[in-house]
Amino acid sequence: MIGVLCKEEEKEIAQEFFELFKTPWEFFGEGRHYDVVISTLREIPALNTALFILYSSEPTQFDGLERIAINHVVSPSYIYHDGMGLPIYGDLVIFCCQGQPLLYNQSSSEAVAVKFTGPQGHNLRVGYDLFHEAAFLLSEGQPVENALTPTLELHISMLRDWILNAGIPLVEIPPVPWGYRFISCLTHDVDFAGIRLHKLDHTMWGFVNRALVGSFLGFLKGTRSLVQMMKNWTAVFSLPLVYIGIAKDFWDDFERYAEIEEGLSSTFFFIPFKNRPGKMVKGDRSAWRATRYDISDIKVQIKKLIKRGSEIGLHGIDAWHNAEKGRQEIERIIEVTGRREIGVRMHWLCFDHHSPSILEQAGFDYDSTVGYNETIGYKAGTAQVYRFLGVTRLLELPLHIQDTALFYPNRLALTRAQAWDMCGSIINAAIRFGGVTTVLWHQRSLAPERLWDKFYINLLQELKSQDTWFGTASQVVQWFRQRRSVTFEDCSYISNKVRLRLRCQGGISRPRMFLRIHKPQKAGPVRSYAEHGHFDLPYSGESLMEIALD
């Protein structure tokens, strides 16, 4: 059991941190025995524990006892861990002392975490504020330059390694279902329901320019094939036939997605009201945010999607800044679907610090807006569904891979090979840390002029090959909600056995969760998580468990 000593204002983020690192813990109680004590306080009580970890960027009582000299580093900084540069967004200190260095400042190679071994156990002094870092990631989000670093997952990984390297066994519920390596969530924002609705407006002329001129220039640069260029030109010359209803509307690709995603569940986010750009939107082209369709115009397509098992969510306009408008928008989705629990992703990813509480007031079940428009990666530093600070129920399904971020000229503008490498780094991190990889492929992205269909098909094939569980956004959020409902009430290690008392309020998850039991290790060189022995057991809601470590 881990005992946590922290400031009163840190308790909410500490609770959220240990929802992500799902292992036995509680706030420190006098007279209780703890295998591990984690503290962020400057003063420490008398302790009798096998491992004491002190996170602080300020001088502490412990520093005086161990004669540690500290120096401050300008933030943000980077520390070096497991071959990766890990960003630190708050204050950071470096140490001069006789302890064993565990982490280093990337720019100076000076120690920012040190270990002391005494007769009673191990003491670790870490030069940053763990819960401040977690709060920053879940509230502010990472800058674009650190987008590909799963920062919060690395903080969890380091803490796990330190516990195991101290010879302490560990139990956790990983953020992935039993029998799978990670979770995949396929989503589609429906900004355009068909090009037939756009006649001689900026959308049509933009399409014509990109399909004719853009395709030709792309062909000359080698980023477009001759076949792609000809498809785009053919689409342009077929526009009159599309407008009079003779030719198929090539931007209406719902049937194509059903074909490509056969056997998989996905989520479509629809606009509630046409011709509304929304308030509070900045930029010279904010009027372009208005769409020519709304959900009432495509009820037939939506009924087919629901019949196939797809989820229908809201692509919100003003819900992010106004709870009453959010309630009006959510009612439009309910009218069509008949389902009361509705999730949202904001159009253009509009969001601010007030949005989580506003969306919760409006009655949304989850949000899936936190991500980047200009790149792909981990804006919140995590691949897990999490809860915003200051709300009680609303959960966030973070966005990781967006098609327009990969390929748009004014964004990353990657070649297919470059985009594949970036997506591969996201998938590799999912294999390592678990969690969910959320993909956004816009409804019109399979069609001219984008023609990103082959890349999407290859991406799906790669995800399928990695033993991933595909769920709709609401299914994924519900799975994490059930995982969050499990509480470790007690954990003890007696006679080479782990004894657990758990409370599970959310019912049995489908697919099931599982327990990962890390065996105690003998003292020796520092090892990574992958090098420690562990075994897994499916969990079906049992309240009492006794597990032999051998």
**Same domain for 310 and 426:** yes
Collapsed DSSP state (helix, strand, coil) of residue 247:
coil
Residues 120, 136 share a domain? yes
Contact of 497 with 520, CB cutoff 8 Å: no
Q: Is residue 461 part of a domain?
A: yes
Question: Residue for token digits 């990472």?
Answer: 142
**pLDDT reported for residue 525:** 52
Report the chain's mean pLDDT, rounded to a whole number: 93
Question: 283 and 149 share a domain?
Answer: no
Residue 499 inside a domain? The answer is no
Residue ending a domain, choose from 248, 267, 287: 248
Compute the Cα dihedral for 239, 243, 248, 251 and give only its sign.
positive
| Count of Cβ atoms closer than 10 Å to residue 430 Cβ | 24
Rounded CA separation 28/5 (Å): 6
Does pLDDT of 148 surpass 60? yes
In a domain, 492, yes or no: no
Looking at the domain assignment, is residue 530 inside a domain?
no
Regarding whether 299 and 370 lie in a shared domain, the answer is: yes
Distance CA 44, CA 94 (A): 21
**CATH number assigned to the domain comprising residue 42:** 3.40.50.880
Residues 79, 133, single domain; the answer is yes
Residue 518 domain flag = no
Residue 200 belongs to a domain: yes
Range of the domain at 52: 2-172
Q: What is the pLDDT of residue 417?
A: 95
Note whether 163 and 236 are same-domain residues. Answer: no
Helix axes 299-307, 323-337, angle to 10 degrees: 70
Exposed/middle/buried for residue 294 (C-beta within 10 Å: 0-12, 13-18, 19+): middle
How far separated are the first and last CA of the chain, in Å rounded?
20
Q: For 135-147, give the secondary structure using H, E and C.
A: HHHHHCCCCHHHC
Residues 224 and 286 occupy one common structural domain: no
Q: How confident is the model at residue 243 (pLDDT cuts 50, 70, 90)?
A: very high
Give the DSSP H or E segment for 359.
helix 355-362
pLDDT, tens only, 17-31? 999 999 999 999 988
| Per-residue pLDDT tens digits for 432-450 | 999 999 999 999 999 999 9
User: Based on the domain organization, do 55 and 143 belong to the same domain?
Assistant: yes
What is the model's pLDDT at position 120?
76
Task: Out of 224, 248, 272, pick the residue that ends a domain.
Answer: 248
- CA-nearest of 451, 405, 408, 403 to 229 is 451
Kindly state the tokens that stand for 311: 């989820």
Share of the chain above pLDDT 90, in %: 81
Ranges assigned E (strand) in 164-233 = 170-172, 182-190
Domain match, 330 and 394 both? yes
Q: In this structure, are 190 and 163 located in the same domain?
A: no
Domain boundary among 217, 233, 248: 248
Residue-wise pLDDT tens digits, 476-518: 999 999 999 999 999 988 878 899 999 998 777 789 999 999 9
Percent of the chain beyond pLDDT 70?
98
Tokens of 126: 């870490």
Residue (of 171, 36, 166, 95) closest to 526 by Cα position: 166
- Give residue 460's Cα distance to chain centre: 19
Beta bridge partners of 367: 344, 396
- Only one residue has tokens 């190679």, namely 109
162 and 293 fall within a common domain: no
Question: Do the domain assignments include residue 177?
Answer: no
| CATH number of the CATH domain containing 456 | 3.20.20.370
Residue 407: both structure tokens together? 């390929």
Same domain, 284 and 412: yes
- Whether 467 is covered by a domain: the verdict is yes
Number of domains, the chain: 3
